[in-house]
Amino acid sequence: MDSRLPLSPFHELANFNNNQEIPLSGTKPQWSRFLCTLLLGCVGGVLATYAHWPLPWMIGSLVMVLLAQCFTPLNLQPLPGGRKTGQWIVGIGIGLHFNAYVLEQIVLNIFPILVGALITTAVSGVGVWFMRKGGEDKATAFFSSMAGGSAEMVNLGQRNGAKLSHVAAAQTLRVVMVVLTVPAVFKLLVSNSDLEHTSLPVDWYWLGIVFVIGGVAAWLLQHFRQPNPWLFGPLLITAGASIWFDLHVGLPFGASQLGQLLIGSSLGCFFERSFFRYAPAFLARSFISTCAMVITASVAAAGIGWFIDGDIRSLTLGMMPGGIAEMSLTAETLHLAVPLVTAMQTLRILLVLFLAEPIYRRWLGRGR
């Protein structure tokens, strides 16, 4: 397919992951559409909660808005700044899981964490191989399969001549597949006894401090065009404060659910019917390659867990080719090792960002 074709809706999906709020189809933003999106997201979150889905407010809102966007005449739009606010809240929640003991454990287990991140990055080669077998050019196959941020891979693909619409479609489909399936599978595998926990107290003084400073950090990261600024900024500030001052505090009831709602409903808005009609053979290849990547990462995580006698479930979540926020929230919901999962996901993203283009150019040079 000609790479000069219009990029919508996949280019918009890539921009979505790059913290840009873009209305669909060039429509003028209207508050009625924003409120309708949130209302449908709330309905999906409530239904998913009663259905005992994992991450109900993220997955339920995503599915409900996606269905409305694809199968009704509604032209929904994400709440301006809503996804950033959701990531802001989620980043603070993840950062509060860090403390001195957890940091010590991460340092002691840095080798398996690094190995896991390297394996996850290497697993992307499965997708590259499958895409090439399907007839895709090298650039499109490579950057479509790398388990990094969608916007970052689209930008790298653009510099190297890939079909941007295909890259954005494959990246978005991979994240959504992992979000919709992995939490459900893990909930089935984790027994109810594992889910018993004690809620941490809420300290509004400290929460106010990390919320404000985390927002400033996010703005600075966004200004310097760093990936996932509204997640990483609050996360780093909150984790640093939690470790340094030994906080042991938690988010108030409903805060995590609000963050999930804002992220899930915003993501659902960037799908439309053309997503499933556009290049179906390519989307099928992307679907199969994502399944292969998930299976390979799961087997590798089981091997690492057996070798170091570690928690296989947390290692597997850390190696999943999904988003950092989604996998960390899954670990939080199932009361697994959130800092370990976050560390592995973050390290994998950094490895992909720094290594993807040099590896591709070396591969291209050897081919020539």
Average pLDDT over residues 161-171: 84
Give pLDDT tens digits for 170-221.
887 888 888 888 888 887 776 554 545 557 899 999 999 999 999 999 999 9
Q: What is the model's pLDDT at position 88?
A: 95
- Mapping DSSP onto H, E and C, the string for the chain reads CCCCCCCCCHHHHHHHHCCCCCCHHHCCCCHHHHHHHHHHHHHHHHHHHHCCCCCHHHHHHHHHHHHHHHHCCCCCCCCCCHHHHHHHHHHHHHHCCCCHHHHHHHHHCHHHHHHHHHHHHHHHHHHHHHHHHCCCCHHHHHHHHCCCCHHHHHHHHHHCCCCHHHHHHHHHHHHHHHHHHHHHHHHHHCCHHHHCCCCCCCCHHHHHHHHHHHHHHHHHHHHCCCCCHHHHHHHHHHHHHHHHHCCCCCCCCCHHHHHHHHHHHHHHHCCCHHHHHCCHHHHHHHHHHHHHHHHHHHHHHHHHHHHHCCCHHHHHHHHCCCCHHHHHHHHHHCCCCHHHHHHHHHHHHHHHHHHHHHHHHHHHHHHC
Q: What is the model's pLDDT at position 37?
A: 94
Q: What is the model's pLDDT at position 268?
A: 83
Number of domain units in the chain: 1
In a domain, 140, yes or no: yes
Q: What is the model's pLDDT at position 275?
A: 67
In a domain, 131, yes or no: yes
In a domain, 75, yes or no: no
In a domain, 168, yes or no: yes
In a domain, 41, yes or no: no
Statement: residue 24 has pLDDT above 90: no
Average pLDDT over residues 28-32: 69
In a domain, 68, yes or no: no
Query: Domain containing 118: what range?
Result: 82-263+277-367
In a domain, 284, yes or no: yes
Q: What is the model's pLDDT at position 27?
A: 47
More confident residue, 223 or 333: 223
Q: What is the model's pLDDT at position 17?
A: 47
Q: What is the model's pLDDT at position 1?
A: 38
Least confident stretch, 22-26, 74-78, 339-343? 22-26
Give pLDDT tens digits for 237-296.
999 999 999 998 999 999 999 999 998 898 888 777 776 676 788 888 888 888 988 998
Give pLDDT tens digits for 68-112.
988 888 888 888 999 899 999 999 999 999 988 888 888 888 888
In a domain, 19, yes or no: no
Structure tokens, 161: 């001549």
Mean pLDDT of the chain: 83
